[in-house]
Amino acid sequence: MAKATSKKKKTLAEKADKFICYQKSVQTPDHEIEFFEQAYKEVNGKKPYVLREDFCGTFAVCCEWVRSNHKRTALGVDLCQETLQWGRDHNLADLSPGEQSRVKISEQDVRKRNRPTADVLAAQNFSFWLFKTRSEVLEYFRIARDNLKSGGVMVMDMMGGGDCYQEDLVDKRTIKKGKKGFQYMWEQASFNPVNADATFYISFKFADGSKLKRAFEYQWRFWTIPEVRELLEEAGFTESHVYWENDDEDSDEYGNWERGNDAPSNPSWICYIVAVK
């Protein structure tokens, strides 16, 4: 009699959830909310209460926002049904019933006007870079402005530096050590200097050597700070500010951000742009 064949044991990559890996690698919602509060308070002198998260994905930031204050409400907007459903099953499910009632999720294009208008509109993780033409970005910024209250702020992160234009460059970070740990890999696959089109991937490598290769793919135009600020002004925002991270070694704060019009030409940098209605 032939022996029964044993089932092949699944690798850690096969058992992994790419959205959990993404959130652990890329997102720090509590610190993002700290910055939203700072940016809004520097304009209005008070706390913000209504958040709109465009390109929200699993809307972890929306959930942390309502958790941070019982008066806060959040609207998350995204087109990907799969990602939104994962957020409902995991992030939203972790909230209390009262907190859940203050989160609204809309499966729609971010280029749609919604009510109520927001104190803070967040477009994080370079997400608006999927708009590759000036006219598309200008249209989005005009609609984003309409989705803000008077004095509201739009918050976007930006990256740059010479390293960001290098093809086949992979940035690796260990997110968690040990048998249950994994490594995050950010791959800059291509960059076209003629039209600034760029392709990026996120992959994950696990303790057994298995990989979730190119779990996330991004086809973007690489926008610059001056281009974005000029478009924000044309869209009707009254002012915009660039925030750089203070690298003071004596500071114990995580993400100590300050406005600045000058910055060193580092090979790789990240900043925020905050636009005011």
Q: What is the DSSP string of 163-180?
A: GGG-TTEEEEEEEE-STT
- Looking at the structure, tell me whether residues 87 and 166 fall in a common domain: no
User: Quick one: pLDDT at residue 255?
Assistant: 61
Per-residue confidence (pLDDT) for residue 265, from 0 to 100: 87
In three-state secondary structure terms, 248 is coil
Domain count, the chain: 2
The parent domain of residue 64 ranges over 18-159+224-276
7 is a domain residue: no
Please report the pLDDT score of residue 246 as a whole number: 81
How big is the CA angle at 150 (ends 148 and 152), to the nearest 5 degrees?
50
Whether 8 is covered by a domain: the verdict is no
Cβ-contact 113, 147 below 8 angstroms: yes
Distance between alpha carbon 136 and the CA centroid of its chain, in Å?
Answer: 19
Contact 75, 118 (CB under 8 A): yes
Question: pLDDT averaged over consecutive 10-residue blocks of the chain (277 residues)?
Answer: 64 95 94 97 97 97 98 97 98 97 97 94 96 98 98 97 91 87 95 96 96 97 97 98 79 70 91 97
Tokens read off for 248: 């003071």
Same domain, 109 and 123: yes
pLDDT at residue 177 in the model: 83
Distance CA 164, CA 159 (A): 8
The CATH number that applies at residue 24 is 3.40.50.150
38 and 70 fall within a common domain: yes
Strands 118-123 and 103-107: unpaired
pLDDT of residue 252: 43
The answer to whether the CB of 156 falls within 8 A of the CB of 124 is: yes
* 112 within a domain of the structure (yes/no): yes
Same domain, 36 and 114: yes
Instruction: Please indicate, yes or no, whether residues 129 and 108 belong to a single structural domain of this protein.
Output: yes
116 plus 203 within the same structural domain:
no
- The mean of the pLDDT values for the chain is 93
How open is the CA angle 26-30-35, to the nearest 5 degrees? 95
Cα 225 to its chain centre, rounded Å, is 17
pLDDT of 93-113, one tens digit each? 999 999 999 999 999 999 999
Residue 248: predicted pLDDT: 62
